[in-house]
Structure 1
Amino acid sequence: MKFFVLLFLLLVTAISITLACECGLEGSTSRIYRGSKVRPNKYPWLAYIRSYSDRKNGSYHRCGGSLIDERHIITAAHCVVNANGKVYSLSNLDVFLGLVKAFNVSSKPNSVSKVWIHDKYDTSDLSNDLAILTLSKPVKYTQTVAPVCLPNFENGLSTLMVAGWGRTAANAGFTNDLLEVEVDYLTKKECNDLKKDYEMKLDGISDSMKSQVEVESVAETHMCAINKKTKGDSCSGDSGGPLMYQGDNGRYYLMGIVSGSWADCGEVEEIAGLYTRTFIYKNFIKSIATNACWQTKH
């Protein structure tokens, strides 16, 4: 009898853990440059963040983010730090979930009770560009609000997806509709070569001098991606949003966080988007978002 009770408890515990770790599934029925419109609530973890510099005049900085458990949003550090290097006051941060239109916001925003900035965040090169927002109240998971999976891997990446409400070109306005764009993962060498080509072109240096030119490498905390055919990429306003890998099981994994680039989207096509690598911050994220779901690739 004791054995049966113990076995039953173990099974209940296992089932509870499995249910608690549901993540990365598409919901019910784009900075994105050369992207396409997303059907409503396809990515139920997508957050729209407004950081107000002045609520009286309504001016705010907009960013994306991702829900990783019922209380936490992961985003870019530069999304919640103002021009003076100070974190926005909690009362000036609004987080919207389950949003379809960025301009027609009718839902009440989620307030923030704490902001966690990675202690090695560097504004000069955007290394360690990561922040976690603790919501004042836990959210309820629905078909339109649910968490993304976090990855226990970083190998075998090829095609990835970015989504956001950012600008559609360097000098264009922000999009009201959520946009998405497929991007190709670049190796560190490919990314550094693109960066060198861009800086040489900017300085008027001939390609024949490439072997003699040294350029500061992309930060190790970043990965790079761009659509090699269309040059589609993330753009201003998409910062903090997700760079996603979809596994064979249909689940989406948060591989990166939109961080920036060395030129505005669309101004120069031979550049790549920079994304903060999620996997390398596993311990940092786990120490804050204890209920986030880390999964291996399927």
Structure 2
Amino acid sequence: MAKFLYSSTNLVYIFGDLEVGDRCGPRNERRCTLVTNCPEAVEKLKQKQKPGLETCGFQGQLEIVCCSNKGEQTPKIPVRNSVAACERYSKGYTIDLKPFIIKGENVSLGEFPYMAAVGYPGNANGETTWECGGMLISERFVLTAAHCTVRVDSKLPSMVRLGKIDLLGDLDNVTGQDIPVEEVIVHPEYHHLRKLNDIALLRLARSAEFNDNVKAVCLNTRQEIRSGLIVLGWGVIDTETEERSRFLQKAFVEPYDLNKCNQTFLDSPSKTAIYDKQLCALSKAAVRSDTCQGDSGGPIQIQNTRDNSETPLVVVGITSYGRGCG
């Protein structure tokens, strides 16, 4: 119930049980607002005058006043750093995604400009060996799998190659960016045997130079994971010869029921369980396509269907492990 309060200097109308955001005023044309967020009240206070507005109530010791909607300061909703970065990186970002990596398809130059190859200290010839994948998520960071950084041979990633689809040659007619790895950051709760939290960051020694073939990818923050997943890699393309692809390949896979997937892995010699924070996917095509050795750390992505989004693809996961290939 509303009531009047009298004082020696002014008459103030107080609304009963109104909170911030409630409508107020004779025709509900105003809104209850904290006095510090009401422009007309703030202006009068600056002039050392009393606001003279109807009082809706109090929030602690702070008065809630019946404020004009005109010029009302609407509280800003906090934006996640990843979302803000995604919007910044997506300006003018287009990908020529072909409609439809074992039996996968070669990708086009610039089709997935965030794909990174993760390299390790030289082999017998002193050359860098490229054994994992990753994805560029900012100018200085590549996201990959933790098991690509915690290895039996104790070798840590030393180099990242960006902007190439021909990993070992120049048939793509572009010069890639080879950037040393400055720091390896493994998820603190990574569990090798249980395959949990298989995620790591590689901090680059210098910033990547963005161009048509080198861009950062956006991470999924809102979308439900649905059909039409795309995986990438330079991994094994022939399980008999263990031949690896020198060209970046893509394959289309579908989410698979977690319980059925769990049964498949529990029947395997490793008896590895799948957890609810993990994603299981497989190919349902007549010609099976899949990830294999060497594809670890690469992105699992979906096309972005959010309204008014300039981001064509978002990453929903990282290739971690599997049972067999294809």
TM-score, normalised via structure 2 length: 0.63
> Equivalents in 2 of 1:175, 1:136: separation in Å?
28
Q: Residue in 2 aligned with 1:240?
A: 297
- Give the secondary-structure state (helix, strand or coil) at the position aligned to 2:137: strand
Q: Which portions of structure 1, spanning 4 or more consecutive aligned residues, are displaced by more than 6 angstroms? A: none
8 A contact 1:53–1:61 mirrored in 2: no
Distance change >3 Å, CA 99–CA 195, structure 1 → 2: same
Distance change >3 Å, CA 59–CA 145, structure 1 → 2: closer
Q: How does 1:171-182 map to 2 (within 5 A)?
A: 171=240, 172-182=242-252
Larger Rg: 2
Q: How does 1:243-282 map to 2 (within 5 A)?
A: 243-248=300-305, 251-262=312-323, 264-266=324-326
8 A contact 1:66–1:241 mirrored in 2: yes
**2:234 aligned to 165, 188, 191, which one?**
165
> Equivalents in 1 of 2:264, 2:92: separation in Å?
32
8 A contact 2:163–2:177 mirrored in 1: no
Q: Residue in 2 aligned with 1:102?
A: 167
- Give the secondary-structure state (helix, strand or coil) at the position aligned to 2:206: coil
> Equivalents in 1 of 2:128, 2:210: separation in Å?
31
Q: How far does residue 41 in structure 1 lie from its aligned partner after superposition?
A: 1.9
Q: How far does residue 257 in structure 1 lie from its aligned partner after superposition?
A: 0.5
8 A contact 2:132–2:298 mirrored in 1: yes
Q: Residue in 2 aligned with 1:42?
A: 111
8 A contact 1:23–1:148 mirrored in 2: no
Distance change >3 Å, CA 40–CA 219, structure 1 → 2: same
**2:131 aligned to 62, 66, 73, which one?**
62
- Give the secondary-structure state (helix, strand or coil) at the position aligned to 1:39: coil
> Equivalents in 1 of 2:113, 2:130: separation in Å?
22
Q: How far does residue 107 in structure 1 lie from its aligned partner after superposition?
A: 3.6
8 A contact 1:163–1:243 mirrored in 2: yes
> Equivalents in 2 of 1:17, 1:149: separation in Å?
8
Q: Residue in 2 aligned with 1:278?
A: none
Q: Residue in 1 aligned with 2:258?
A: 188
Counterpart amino acid of 1:237? G
> Equivalents in 2 of 1:60, 1:17: separation in Å?
31
Q: How far does residue 111 in structure 1 lie from its aligned partner after superposition?
A: 1.0
Q: Residue in 1 aligned with 2:218?
A: 149
Q: Considering only aligned residues, what root-mean-square deviation do their CA atoms show, in Å?
A: 3.1
> Equivalents in 2 of 1:118, 1:43: separation in Å?
25
Q: Residue in 1 aligned with 2:65?
A: none
Q: How far does residue 193 in structure 1 lie from its aligned partner after superposition?
A: 3.1
Q: How far does residue 54 in structure 1 lie from its aligned partner after superposition?
A: 4.6
Q: Quick one: percent identity of the two aligned structures?
A: 27
Structure having the larger proportion of residues in helix:
1
Q: How far does residue 80 in structure 1 lie from its aligned partner after superposition?
A: 2.0
Q: Does 2:274 align with 1:218?
A: yes
Counterpart amino acid of 1:62? E
Q: Residue in 1 aligned with 2:90?
A: 22
What do residues 10-55 of structure 1 show as CA deviations (whole Å, max 9, x unaligned)? 9xxxxx97862417944579xx112111111200000011112657
TM-score, normalised via structure 1 length: 0.69
> Equivalents in 2 of 1:178, 1:19: separation in Å?
26
Distance change >3 Å, CA 39–CA 128, structure 1 → 2: same
